[in-house]
Chain A
């Protein structure tokens, strides 16, 4: 039998770059195929060829053995290919059914009027067939991210997709939603659909895919069955050399107290309490990790410490002095480095070049500031040293931040903050969107800082990251620590329970209920509670 999708010797050249070099890829009907590779390995280009966005320079796309030539995604859609982008293509204020049928609305009155009943029915029928739990009349803005993803899948299925391409499908999901997605994969493949997903996460490829194809520098390094390989094998295939999967933490005596937080209350933008009565200490030469499902107060906690948000109550002491009444600039001056959650919002000025971005936060300091003027040559030297040390690409201090990929922007920010010679580093998701080779490097740098006696507050949604790097690990749930554990001995299951606000000792807690609670938390609209607080 012919494979459902067969990419035959695909080469795609852009001016000056070969994005795909003679890539072969065969995907069996009814299977889940992972396309694994680092940033820039050519995964997305290859899928864009399959989706009709790019025309291949050489090679043929075959579906069920038939050669195809796609001029536009429209042709690919007609041929039964559906693409689910990493950033969902949904219209927020419109309902689920409106989004599913958008562009292909069933109509009456000679194509003029939308046949709402027929459209809703089609959506309900599809979601029942694949066991999706979606409310057709809910507005997209009101449903959880996991549900939005299912709406995207429904959109593709509604258009008759047999082959679903998903770009980094788990990037925006919580661990529980990821599990649900794997369930959706099973449901779809059982009914004969074929799934290809792009990923740079090893664990994800191993647990969700039947087969894995690894791309490196635009070349197919090999296709393997998921059951035959280990994480280490895959990492080596991706990077082209051996990768240490576990960061090498060495035991180390903690030094003086750097940061102490006591009885901290912080409200979010709506005035709802996001962090309540939180206390902890952080010492020099120590990494204190905070794990938790996004949206449980991590952002507000970090903003309060870094001076971006007012405290509702409580106190923060830094290097022995109270931070109350001090500004963000005071904190920078006193050696507090900050890697923000949203790199494009807060980490960089997108329209500045890297030289300008390199001195953000140090613009008042020697050697960059000289009596009200900026010393651009010193700034450029600094930018170039960050670029070189942290392998930022393209290595051009005159490039605008906008021109960099997300992973490179992240490396640049981390480099800038680490090179500030800080006493405390507050790092939020420091390796988000960064490929594994660079992640390894950033982790090493973080541990070097620790060895130099710096204090690190590490907030991350990557469990293996916080667990691997931290000396102590706190799990945050609804603004409170549900537990502070020893990362060396705690199991992933125990952390999962703590993330859902349960105590791991309680045997009566069933996995299913844990599941629900955790998703509710994310899906549940906090404004319902907000009204009570307002009153």
Chain B
């Protein structure tokens, strides 16, 4: 059974997206939004009109960008880790730790001050990335060097961050939520960051030697080892990249508000897990991940707006949509190509 949308040929897309599946995903999203725009314009007073109003309003766009940034960035990181053969389900924890550390760094430096000529918000950003990368380094050592079960270690990363960040917040700020710093980073920076990170990741994965080695490391590490490339080095690089990208995402999330919220599931609220869903949905293609991340974030933003307009839609139900979607997609389409050796330890014979 051929997917009719997959047969559509769109020159630019064809070049960037080699898989039919991702292509149909992108085309599908465009078509849905197009239809929504047309129907909404035709019947402005209907639900479709409200939806279209939401879909094409600037405020929805900004909140989508804000919500999408951590999902897409952590998702891109997840691709690097998993393509190398290490499944990193600790993305959520990396987002949490970087969100907290970035706010802490900003409060230490003080908004308006600078360190070595670097403004406080930029320092905060770098600190968040460093924290996330450090935690991912621990995860990498445990998984690659000590051959721990990747799923357990990933869960540990999440649980450690989930406990540690609110705890540190209570110690350092006197409450699980930090005070608001009163300064935040504009959404345009995040949108640009996300686009650059997506295109950069795509290029890195598909056009560079590192990308080829990463893929070989996740598919058949022995093949890589026998041609003299160190599998563990490639895997360390993959996992550390997931830390860097998640760090960017977590810092962006916190700095967009200027506060770390540590109560309950923290302000990250499962975005790290949605990120995993997003890259699976995007079939390990950064562009697909971007599409899926924006779609999930857009649904969330739409839901928030609908609440404000008086539609009583339970937000908890809306939050299950990504998970339901991914199960449906994986069952019906089943095209996601999980790397052959993902989750397996590799021991060199030498």
Which chain A residues have a beta carbon within 8 Å of chain B's beta carbons? 53, 72-74, 77, 83, 85, 89-94, 98-99, 102-105, 107, 111-114, 155, 159
Contacts and interface: CB of A to CB of B under 8 A. Distances in A.
B340 A92 contact: yes
Interface stretch (B171-179, B216-224, B327-335): B216-224
A72 B208 CA distance: 26
B271 to A, nearest CB: 30
Nearest to B206: A114
A91 B219 contact: yes
Which residue, A72, A102, A155, has most C-beta atoms of chain B within 10 A?
Answer: A102
30 contacts: A72-B228, A74-B228, A77-B228, A85-B226, A89-B223, A91-B219, A91-B223, A92-B219, A92-B340, A93-B219, A94-B215, A94-B216, A94-B219, A98-B212, A99-B223, A102-B212, A102-B216, A102-B223, A102-B224, A103-B213, A103-B228, A103-B229, A111-B209, A112-B210, A113-B207, A114-B207, A114-B209, A114-B212, A155-B227, A159-B227
B237 to A, nearest CB: 14
B316 interface: no
A340 B211 CA distance: 40
B320 interface: no
Contacts of A155: 227
Nearest to A77: B228
A19 to B, nearest CB: 15
Give 5 closest A-B pairs by Cβ, nearest first: A103-B227, A89-B223, A74-B228, A91-B216, A103-B229
A103 B224 contact: yes
B45 interface: no
A360 B320 CA distance: 45
Given A90-B220, A92-B220, 16 more contacts: A53-B349, A72-B228, A73-B226, A74-B228, A89-B227, A91-B224, A92-B219, A94-B216, A99-B223, A102-B224, A102-B227, A103-B224, A105-B212, A112-B208, A113-B209, A155-B227
Contact of B350 (A53, A98, A113): A53
A163 B168 CA distance: 62
A305 to B, nearest CB: 32
B337 interface: yes
B14 to A, nearest CB: 16
Contacts of A102: 212-213, 216, 223-224, 227, 229
Interface string B221-239: 0111011110000000000
Given A72-B350, A73-B350, A113-B207, A89 B220 contact: yes
Main secondary structure of the interface of B (DSSP, over half): helix
Contacts of B210: 112
Contacts of A94: 212, 215-216, 219
A255 B36 CA distance: 78
Interface residues of B, number: 22
Contact of B208 (A73, A77, A103, A114): A114
Main secondary structure of the interface of A (DSSP, over half): loop
Contact of B215 (A83, A91, A113): A91
Interface in B189-220: 207-213, 215-216, 219-220
Nearest to B350: A72
A132 B213 CA distance: 26
A73 B228 contact: yes
Contacts of A85: 226
Nearest to A75: B228
A102 B208 CA distance: 11
Interface string B311-350: 0000000000000000000000000010010000000011
Contacts of A159: 227
A114 B214 CA distance: 13
Contacts of B215: 91, 93-94
Contacts of A73: 226, 228, 350
Contacts of B337: 93
Contacts of B222: 89
Interface string B264-278: 000000000000000
Which residue, B210, B212, B222, has most C-beta atoms of chain A within 10 A?
Answer: B212
A91 B349 contact: no
Contacts of B211: 114
A112 B209 contact: yes
Nearest to B225: A89
B108 to A, nearest CB: 36
Contacts of B207: 113-114
Nearest to B222: A89
B337 to A, nearest CB: 7
Given A77-B228, A102-B216, A103-B229, A90 B223 contact: yes
A107 B350 CA distance: 28
A197 B216 CA distance: 27
Contacts of B223: 89-91, 99, 102
Contacts of A111: 209
Contacts of A83: 226
A160 to B, nearest CB: 13
A162 B224 CA distance: 21
B8 to A, nearest CB: 21
A52 to B, nearest CB: 9
A184 B337 CA distance: 34
Nearest to A51: B226
Contacts of B349: 53
B209 A105 contact: yes
Contact of A89 (B212, B213, B226, B340): B226
B213 A113 contact: no
B220 A91 contact: yes
A24 B228 CA distance: 28
Contacts of B212: 94, 98, 102, 105, 114
Contacts of B220: 89-92
A93 B228 CA distance: 20
Contacts of B209: 105, 107, 111-114
A156 to B, nearest CB: 10
Nearest to A48: B349
A74 B211 CA distance: 22
B301 to A, nearest CB: 36
B284 to A, nearest CB: 11
A104 B223 CA distance: 13
Contacts of A92: 219-220, 340
B153 to A, nearest CB: 23
Nearest to A112: B208
Contacts of B226: 73, 83, 85, 89
A113 B229 CA distance: 17
B227 A104 contact: yes
A279 B209 CA distance: 55
Contacts of B229: 102-103
A72 B349 CA distance: 11
Given A91-B215, A91-B216, A113 B208 contact: yes
A157 to B, nearest CB: 13
Nearest to A534: B1
A111 B212 CA distance: 13
Nearest to A89: B223
A93 B224 CA distance: 14
A99 B212 CA distance: 9
A85 B225 CA distance: 13
A105 B213 CA distance: 10
A74 B229 CA distance: 10
Contacts of A74: 228
Contacts of A90: 220, 223
